Amino acid sequence: MVNKDDLKCYLKTGSLIFPRVVQVEITNRCPFRCPQCYKKQLSVEDMPIDKLISVIEECSEQGTELFILNGGEPLIYPHIISIIKYLTERKIQFNCFSSGYGLTDEIIQYVKMGCMNLFISLNGSTEEVNKLSREGYSYAVDAIKRLDAQGAPFKINWVARHDNVYDFPAVVELALENHARAVSVIGNKLINNSYVDSPMEAEDYKYLADYINTFPFYDKIGITVEQCFPQLSALLPTLPKTPLSGCLAGVFSCNVTVDGQYMPCTQLHYKEQFGSVKEYWVNSEILKGLRKIKKENLKYCQECQEKYCRICRAVSKECHDDFSVGYEMCPIRQ
């Protein structure tokens, strides 16, 4: 919940007092080279654990409610057990997105303790569909089955694309069979700030929204939609819509890179150097640029009737390079 002080700050500056969600890229290592990967290669492979702990401590003291451990593949971070133990002992909530590679029985036991929300990334119910955008199908399925067998709660992370959207029901069926808590639907983003691979078309959005709107098994499994996926959320009437709906990079959340710099989110590669998260949050010119844009002033969004929509700036090259234009090919506006 946003408190009164945060609301006052948001109305005045366009952001909360301090980010409630902080993404931390703990490692640049990964055994795979997925076709849809958005990461840029860096000379630094792992975030030093003392730097990671200092970020967590600062943010926890300032009111951050959720940390997201990103990679690379976060489960092969050299200090992954130490940091999971550190967060769990302090009852700090955190998400971890993994291909399943590097999952151990020890990590599964921590998942069962409840502070660690583990998402297994899977883009297809079969290897044929999955490999169009992700590698490591067998690792993901093996991890899902092991988590289920040991009674550990987990979710599946699925990126919506033109080349896999009609396979989504089969992914949900796989999740049901293995007792996943939910399938999280993620929007497709730019690859290295360049282009979107296999972008969704208007009919794809309609198909996916119709499936989610009429899904009959919400008593057994949830289907959630990424916050910064307003193109789909707009077609789902049961989802609550507020002024904070849509992309919250620089408004509600931010990212710390593996080399200790700062970005609005993992897909917006506008790196800046500051002494702390607080300094970045208050002084970043990039964040100020993200916050000041109103939907009614965006070039391609002015005629749109969707009341609450904060468009992701990583869904097209044009809106990534110019925060003020909006999303030209948005299926909702069309």
Per-residue confidence in pLDDT tens, the chain, 334 aa: 678 999 899 989 999 999 999 999 999 999 999 999 988 665 679 999 999 999 999 999 999 999 999 999 999 999 999 999 999 999 999 999 999 999 999 999 999 999 999 999 999 999 999 999 999 999 999 999 999 999 999 999 999 999 999 999 999 999 999 999 999 999 999 998 889 999 999 999 999 999 999 999 999 999 999 999 989 998 999 888 888 888 999 999 999 999 999 999 999 999 999 999 999 999 999 999 999 877 778 888 888 888 888 889 999 999 999 999 989 888 877 6
Q: Which residues pair with 121 in a beta bridge?
A: 157
Domains of the chain, earliest start first: 4-321 (3.20.20.70)
Q: Say what the alpha-carbon torsion angle 67, 114, 179, 205 is, to the nearest 10 degrees.
A: -20
CA of residue 134 relative to chain centroid, distance:
16
- Is the CB of residue 188 less than 8 Å from the CB of residue 200? yes
Joined together, the tokens standing for residue 56 give: 């967590």
Question: Residue 35 to residues 122, 123, 124, 205: CA-CA distances in angstroms?
Answer: 13, 12, 14, 22
> pTM for the complete prediction?
0.95
Residue 213: closest CA among 233, 183, 229, 186: 233
